[in-house]
Amino acid sequence: MSVLVRFAPSPTGRLTFGNLRAPVFNWLYARKLGGKFLLRIDDTDTTRSTKAFDDAIHDDLRWLGVTWDLTARQSERLGRYGEIIGKLKSEGRLYPCYETEEELGLKRKSLLSRGKPPVYDRSALKMTREDIHRHEQEGRKPHWRFLLKDEAVTWNDGIRGPVAISAHDLSDPILIRTDGSLTYILASCVDDIDYGITDIIRGEDHVTNAATQIQIIEALGGSVPRFAHFPHITGKDGDKMSKRLGSFGVQQLQGELGVEPMAVWSLLARLGTSEPVEPQISLETLVEGFDLGKVSRTPPKFDTEELMRLNARILHLTPWSAVQKRLPGADETFWNAVRPNLTRFDEAKDWWHIACESVAGAVTEAAFVAEAAGLLPPEPWGPGTWDEWVSVLKNRTGRKGKELFMPLRLALTGREHGPELKVLLPLIGRSRATERMNGRAA
């Protein structure tokens, strides 16, 4: 059986770093097994779904490098869901309930106060025609619940191992709201059947939902997919990274932090697994080593500093061919000179400006810097020019170490830190170096 996985976000908010674990796991799993990836937009919640969030989800996934083979949109499949609703009603698996939110809330509180689980009591199944007529006369609109079979639902979870959930301990799920809109669970089950989803890889907050979905899929005569539920990534404080709580988002990854997509892949593919987190510049390596069986059930913690360290190490490993289009005007010599000092890619653009365009140096010791400028060797300059120059300066001035190097670095670059001057100096060139050391922009 060929593999087909899906990532099914709701366009009700921006994706967070934690949200990205699902598409990364699903994509790696599909590619490892030669399968396909479906991007499904679950937009049945018409009050909260927006086109702006929809577009943002697509943009975020494209930035990350997640590619999809198929697409689906639930708002375009309402007619199909209507067919299934009719089938379930005719078979007695979908039944109307007229309790209000307030009445259901009181029932839950009463059960909890008596130490019982807040499971729906199915009182709606006992309604007479007169009861239904009275509710209709009062202007009440029904919500519709799926009638679960009172049996244990079991499956072998790809991460959690054997799972058994008694449907007796679950409330019959609401599939249709009072306004006629669908909850995600029915549409999701129908889509999983119709598209032939073979594997559902998602967060562990859906474990209980899996038991309900299995019963719905079986009621519709569908093939039950394999399930794997991973723990959610938490922040350093241990709280779940929810998009509703405004947690660390993809926007921050791209803009504020300037993170490379491969840093995200490298961290998410290994975080919370038995494999070490290491910088990777190729997705093929991550695909080859991906194994759901190595995912721990312990929630992993996200540390921004770890991500940034990983980002720097990836930049240090990245070849010129991978960044050439992002640095117009630069060349491989420049990239190889600056990449060992980068923590984010934008810094390379700054160093191109410093090395090859007009900037003002910072002359802090005018007499020494002027003497050094007069001792600059003639061009052409190469890898040995810096050592040649500072050797002469040491002998002439008696300076060494930071006392020698720092005034030169400040005069040439205006910065206290950066790439080695022996690789920067040939890029700056004699003319610009002389002008900067004389206190002029060049």
Candidates 122, 88, 95; CA nearest to 219 is: 88
> Residue 364 has which token pair?
């802090």
Rg of the chain taking only CA atoms, in angstroms: 31
pLDDT attached to residue 361: 81
Candidates 209, 302, 218; CA nearest to 21 is: 302
Tokens 């996985």 -> residue: 5
Please check whether residue 342 is in contact with residue 315, taking contact to mean a CB–CB distance below 8 angstroms. yes
> Residue 316 has which token pair?
């240090």
pLDDT attached to residue 348: 94
pTM: 0.90
pLDDT attached to residue 245: 40
pLDDT attached to residue 236: 73
Give the integer Cα–Cα distance in Å for 237 and 161: 28
Candidates 408, 425, 412, 397; CA nearest to 369 is: 408
pLDDT attached to residue 360: 84
pLDDT attached to residue 244: 43
Tell me which amino acid residue 14 is. R
**Kind of pairing, strands 161-166 and 152-157?**
antiparallel
Which residue ranges form the domains of the chain, and what is each CATH number? 4-72+185-230 (3.40.50.620), 80-176 (3.90.800.10), 243-321 (1.10.1160.10), 332-437 (1.10.10)
**Residue-wise pLDDT tens digits, 179-213:** 999 999 999 999 999 999 999 999 999 999 999 99
Give the integer Cα–Cα distance in Å for 248 and 15: 9
> Cβ neighbours of residue 165 under 8 Å, at least 6 residues apart?
152, 153, 154, 207, 208, 210, 211
Q: How far is CA 63 from CA 59, 104, 161, in A?
A: 6, 44, 33
pLDDT attached to residue 239: 66
Give the integer Cα–Cα distance in Å for 151 and 268: 37
Give the integer Cα–Cα distance in Å for 172 and 302: 36
Block mean pLDDT (10 aa), the chain, length 442? 93 91 98 98 90 95 97 96 97 96 93 93 94 92 97 97 96 95 94 98 96 98 98 78 59 91 96 94 96 95 91 97 93 93 94 88 90 93 93 93 93 91 92 90 74
Q: Edge-to-edge strand order for the sheet containing 226-230?
A: 70-73, 36-41, 4-7, 199-203, 226-230
